[in-house]
Amino acid sequence: MKLISKIWVAITVLLSFTSCEAQIKNEKTETVKIYGNCGMCEKRIEKAGNINNIAKVDWDVDTKMATITYDSKKTNQDAILKSIALSGHDSDTFLAPNEAYSKLPSCCQYNRIAKVPVKVNTVASDTISANSKVDMTNHTTAENQLKAVFDNYFAVKDALVKTDGNTASAKATALLSAINAVKMETLKTEEHNVWMKVLKDTKEDAEHISGTKDAKHQRDHFDTLSKNIYELIKVSKQETPTYYQFCPMANNGKGANWLSKEDVVKNPYYGSMMLSCGKVTETIK
């Protein structure tokens, strides 16, 4: 018995070798702007920036300014701002990865449009330029305006493959504006006929997908949206082939279709759970 108690003492002694809290040495303090919205953001920003005994971050919700105190021999402002950006929060030095930003809860998704110079706006500017060209020429641009519709559809699909409700919603908004931008009178006859038929439903589906961030609800509408876009793409000549794909398990076992630019199956109805479920049923050229 005595032996066992001795061993326990030894173990406790061995395990209690944790270092005590110490002050940050070679202290340097700076104030920088970090983009965020709320108290939740504050917690995340500070957690991402803090390093025991090396760096401490104190972010102010109202001013969006962070006071950063750090050991100047062990780290620097850039390193701290980088790890904060990796958690989803932009600063004036680093832009967060898009995945990190879109994973933030919606209350934390601060307005970052002004911060990304060109890239994020490409979809919008495409549709604008398609619009402006419409007035001047005829058929070639008609293809362009439908192309904007298709491209945005594929963007919605890609977002759903990743089960990324935020992006799907954003892309569906772009899809909606592309649909609204289409000038029916410039379409070819066959396109025109199909367009008249599907316009109302397509618009409604796009509105629903853009109106929610819940991927499940978005997928319900994506099913019907896909069918209508399929009708449309069949009559509209495209430069590259499109693949009409089908997963028998989607939509509660009733099966559902979608369109893809690649023949590899990446199922938008289940995300990573059942990514490769499905097959190509038709190749549209």
Partner 1 sequence: MKNISILPAAILILFISQSIFAQKIVRYDLYVRDTIVTFGDKPKHAIAVNGQIPMPTLTFTEGDIAEIYVHNELKESTSLHWHGLFLPNKEDGVPNLTQMPIEPNTTHKYTFPIIQHGTHWYHSHSGMQEQIGMYGNFIMLKKPTDPTFRKGIDDLPSVPIVLSEWTDANPDNVHRMLHNATDWFAIQKGTTQSYSEAIQQGHFKTKVNNEWKRMNAMDVSDVYYNKFLINGKNESQLSQFKGGDKVRLRISNGGASTYFWLNYAAGKITVVANDGNDVEPVEVDRLIVAVSETYDIVVTIPADKTAYEFLVTSEDRTKSASLYLGDGIKQLNSTLPKLKYFEGMKMMNDMMKMNGDLDDMGMSMSYNQMDMNVVMYPEITGEAKPKSDKMGVIKMTENDYNSNKLSDIVTLNYAMLKSPFKTNLPKDAPIRELKFELTGNMNRYVWSLDNKVVSETDKILIKKGENVRITIYNGSMMRHPMHLHGHDFRIINGQGDYAPLKNIIDIMPMETDVLEFNANVEGDWFFHCHILYHMMAGMGRVFTYENQAPNPLIPNPKLAQRKLFADDRKFHLMAENDFATNGNDGSAMYQNTRWSIGTEWRLGYNDMHGYEIETHIGRYIGKMQWLMPFIGFDWRYRKMEDNEMEKNLFNQTNTKDKRSVFSLGLEYTFPMLIKAQAEVFTDGNVRLQFERMDIPVSKRLRMNLMWNTDKEYMAGLRYIVKRNFGITTHYDSDMGIGFGVSLNY
Q: Where along the sequence are the contacts to partner 1 (CB under 8 A)?
A: 3, 6-7, 10-11, 14-15, 17, 78, 82, 85-86, 92-97, 99-100, 115-119, 158, 161-162, 264, 266, 272, 275-276
Shortest Cβ distance from residue 14 to partner 1 (Å)? 4
| Contacts for 116 with CB less than 8 Å, ≥ 6 apart | 95
106, 94 contact by CB (below 8 A): no
Beta-carbon contacts of 17 under 8 Å, excluding residues fewer than 6 positions away, are none
H helix runs in 107-138, sequence order: 122-134
Q: How far is the CB of 164 from partner 1 (least distance, A)?
A: 11
- Give whichever of 195 and 243 is closer to partner 1, judged by the CB atom: 243
Look at residues 230, 216, 224, 107 and name the one whose alpha carbon lies nearest to residue 169. Answer: 216
Least Å from the CB of residue 89 to partner 1: 11
36 touches 64 (CB < 8 A)? yes
Contact 282, 243 (CB under 8 A): yes
Residue closer to partner 1, measured from CB, 15 or 136: 15
CB of 41 to partner 1, least distance (A): 17
Quick one: which of 169, 122, 130, 170 has its CA closest to 146?
Answer: 130
Which residue's CB is nearer to partner 1, number 141 or number 267?
Answer: 267
Strand partners, 66: 32, 59
Rank residues 19 and 23 by Cβ distance to partner 1 and give the closer one: 19
The C-alpha atoms of residue 47 and residue 34 are separated, in whole angstroms, by 14
